[in-house]
Amino acid sequence: MPELPDIELYLAALRPRVLDQPLARLRFASAFFLRSVEVAPAALEEHRVLDLRRLGKRIVFAFDADLFTVMHLMIAGRLRWLEAGAPIPGKIGLAAFDFPNGSLIVTESGSRKRASLHIVRGEAAVEALDPGGLEVLDAPFEAFAAAIRRENHTIKRALTDPHLLSGIGNAYSDEILHAAQLSPMALTHALTDEQLRALHTACLTVLRGWAERLREETGEAFPQKVTAFRPGMAVHGRHGQPCPRCGAPVQRIVYASNEANYCATCQTGGRLLADRALSRLLRNDWPKTLEELERKKKREYPDGTPR
């Protein structure tokens, strides 16, 4: 799912291309993409884009006449910038925003179409689509601490809850927790002030750092590959690879439809976290530490090769 750094990358690429440009036409290839019917798509035609901004993980186009589109790409939605009037790709294509100088194509891979577009009138209607999470980059530490402590969840869940914090998802929460050297399964009410400050600092460092890095890597081009798995990430998507801080193999737990990647040495004091499915399956055989895991591997795979 495109998260705060990825959405900011899209916005940086879109602003020089569509600001002050009139929308010639809005074409749809999927009826499920449009989620609101209060304003007809044709009502946007010939209206100019006055502003582009982020609303959590959503992209907001502000047109004149007090009209707005609010787009959520969800997990597999992506944007392409092609020549004006370019056809919408088959199977993965959702819609096209046609401008005089090019077409913004919206795609979504996979069979489950979750990406959405709302066309609304007035700021109040835009605000109604806001989950209400705190904008971490704009908030002081006290507001951040209050949001984290509002409910007693695991830190991983709190970071990715759009009602608590805005714009953070699975990928960058892994990176934030590694930077803060905190377990993803630690409970928010148990965090000390020192740990909360480390978490706040990590949020600022990781989100700002990756937003800047992505812009530098992309330059003036339109982003071609927005992904949750990027070279240079510390733990996300790096299961089994060495932690860049200590060299221990990155671990992973899977739960529901999500996962958490972490370094046991840096984040959990060497203790391995067990997901529910494997814990029930292995019961007492589940290794509790990296040392136990390595011993278990040597017993089961004496030649070093899993079969």
Sign of the alpha-carbon dihedral angle for 230, 233, 238, 242: positive
pLDDT of residue 258: 81
Q: Which pair of structure tokens corresponds to residue 147?
A: 């949001």
pLDDT of residue 282: 45
Domains in the chain, please, with CATH? 4-127 (3.20.190.10), 136-267 (1.10.8.50)
Phi, psi (deg, nearest 5) at residue 169: -125, -155
pLDDT of residue 37: 83
Q: Region 190-198: what's the mean pLDDT?
A: 98
DSSP reduced 3-state for 166 = coil
pLDDT above 80 for 278: no
- Give the pLDDT band of residue 296 (cuts 50, 70, 90): low
Q: Region 179-194: what's the mean pLDDT?
A: 97
Question: Looking at per-residue confidence, does 104 or 305 come out higher?
Answer: 104
Which range among 6-10, 48-52, 110-114, 204-208 shows the weakest confidence by mean pLDDT? 110-114
> What is d(CA 233, CA 244) in angstroms, rounded to the nearest whole number?
9
Continuous segment of H or E residues that includes residue 293: helix 290-300
pLDDT of residue 307: 43
pLDDT above 60 for 286: no
Structure confidence by residue, pLDDT tens digits, 15-72: 999 999 999 999 999 989 999 988 999 999 999 999 999 999 999 999 999 999 999 9
pLDDT above 90 for 154: yes
> According to the 3-state scheme, what is the secondary structure of 256-288?
CCEEEEECHHHHCCCECCCCHHHHHHHHHHCCC
Share of the chain above pLDDT 90, in %: 84
Structure confidence by residue, pLDDT tens digits, 80-117: 999 999 999 999 999 999 999 999 999 999 888 899 99
- Give the pLDDT band of residue 6 (cuts 50, 70, 90): very high
Which range among 41-50, 261-270, 286-295 shows the weakest confidence by mean pLDDT? 286-295
CB atoms within 10 A of CB 261: 24
Structure confidence by residue, pLDDT tens digits, 226-236: 999 999 999 99
Q: Judging by beta carbons within 10 Å of its beta carbon (0-12, 13-18, 19+), is residue 74 exposed, middle or buried?
A: middle
pLDDT of residue 112: 84
pLDDT of residue 111: 80
Cross-strand partners of 61: 52, 69
> What is d(CA 18, CA 36) in angstroms, rounded to the nearest whole number?
23
